[in-house]
Amino acid sequence: MSSIKHYLSLVKFSHTIFALPFALIGFTLALSEGHSFSLKLLLLVLVCMITARNSAMAFNRFIDRKFDALNPRTAIREIPAGIINPKNALFFIITNCLLFVTATYFINTICFYLSPVALFTVLFYSYTKRFTPLCHLVLGCGLALAPIGAYLAVTGVFAWLPLLFSFTVFTWVSGFDIIYALQDEAFDREHKLNSIPVLLGTKGALRFSVVLHLFSIAFVVAAGFLGHFNFLYWIGTTFFTGLVIYQHTIVKPNDLSRVNLAFGTTNGIASVVFACFTIISLFI
C-alpha cells in the first residue's frame, strides 16, 4: 500500500482532475449525437487517460531527476529522495505505455494508429525545457488530446466541437503551467533551462498567461455557440471564466505565495464544475 502511495505521488495522480473532466465532455458529447453508451468503452477511455498521464508524469520525473535533486523545491520528490529507484520508475513508465497502446487497440483502429503520436506528444514535453521556452505549450498540447481522443474513441471521426474543447484545454493548461513555472524562474535561469518566465521575466510571463487564458475563454464561448448548448452550459462557462480570471488576481509579480492555490485548487475546481454543467446540459 505504501508503494502504491509513492507511485501515485510520483505522478501527482490528483492532478488528473485537470484533463479528465474534459475527456468526459468529449465522451458524452459523442453520446449526445446518438452513439450508444458502452461501459467497456468508458473504462477503456479512462485507462487510456490514466496510463498516458502516468507515463508522461513519471517520464518527466525520470528525465529531470538530476535537476530535481539540485532544486530545493523538488529535491523531496520520490526519485531524487531515493523513495523510488530510477529503474523501477522506468519500468513503471514502460508498463503504462504498453497498457495505453493495448487499451487503444480494443477501442478502435484510428485510436490505435494514433496512439504512438499521442505517446510521443506527452513524453516529448519532458525534453522541451532543454531547448525552448515554449515547453508550456507542448504540455498544453498533450493534455489537449483528452477531449478529442475521448470523442474519437466513441465516433472514430474528428469534429470541430470537440476540437474547440481541445483548444480550450491547450490554452488553459499552457497558461496555468506558466504561472506554476514562476516558482523555478531563478533555478531555471541558473541551470540554463528554458521557460516563459526565464524568457520574459515574471511580469511578462503573467501577461503571456493572461493572453492564453483569454483565448481559452474565447474557445469555451465559441464551443457554446457552435454546439447550441442550453443555459446550463453558460452557467458552467461563467464559473470557468470567473475561476480562470480569479487565479490572476491572487498571483502577483511581487507575491507568488499563492501559486499552488491558483495552479491546483482553482483550476481543478474550474475543470470539474465546467464539465458537470456541460455534461448535464447535453442531456437536458
**Residue 73: how many other CB atoms lie within 10 Å:** 10
Answer with the residue of higher pLDDT: 13 or 276: 276
> Which residue is associated with the grid cell 478529442?
148
- pLDDT value of position 260: 85
Residues 6+ apart with CB under 8 A from 19: 49, 53, 143, 146, 169, 173, 271
Average pLDDT over residues 143-156: 96
Three-class SS of residue 252?
strand
Residue ranges of domains in the chain = 2-281
- Average pLDDT of the residues of the chain: 94
Rg over CA atoms, the chain: 19
**Are 13 and 69 a contacting pair, CB within 8 Å?**
no
Three-class SS of residue 107?
coil
Q: pTM to 2 decimals?
A: 0.95
180-224 tens-digit pLDDT: 999 999 999 999 999 999 999 999 999 999 999 999 999 999 999
**Are 53 and 97 a contacting pair, CB within 8 Å?**
no
- Superfamily for the 2-281 domain: UbiA prenyltransferase (1.10.357.140)
The DSSP annotation for 155-222 comes to HSS--HHHHHHHHHHHHHHHHHHHHHHGGGHHHHHHTT---HHHHHHHHHHHHHHHHHHHHHHHHHHH
Helix, strand, coil shares of the chain, percent, nearest 5, are: 80, 0, 20
Q: What are phi and psi of 85, to 5 degrees?
A: -70, 140
The DSSP annotation for 166-183 comes to HHHHHHHHHHHHHHHHGG
75-106 tens-digit pLDDT: 999 999 999 999 999 999 999 999 999 999 99
Beta bridge partners of 255: 252
- pLDDT value of position 1: 55
- Say whether pLDDT at 53 is over 90: yes
Of 93-107, 126-140, 193-207, 244-258, the poorest mean pLDDT is in 244-258
What is the C-alpha to C-alpha distance for residues 25 and 237, in angstroms, rounded to an integer? 13
> Which residue is associated with the grid cell 471521426?
157
What is the C-alpha to C-alpha distance for residues 121 and 143, in angstroms, rounded to an integer? 9
170-186 tens-digit pLDDT: 999 999 999 999 999 99
* Portion of the chain with pLDDT greater than 90, in percent: 87
Length of the chain measured in residues: 284
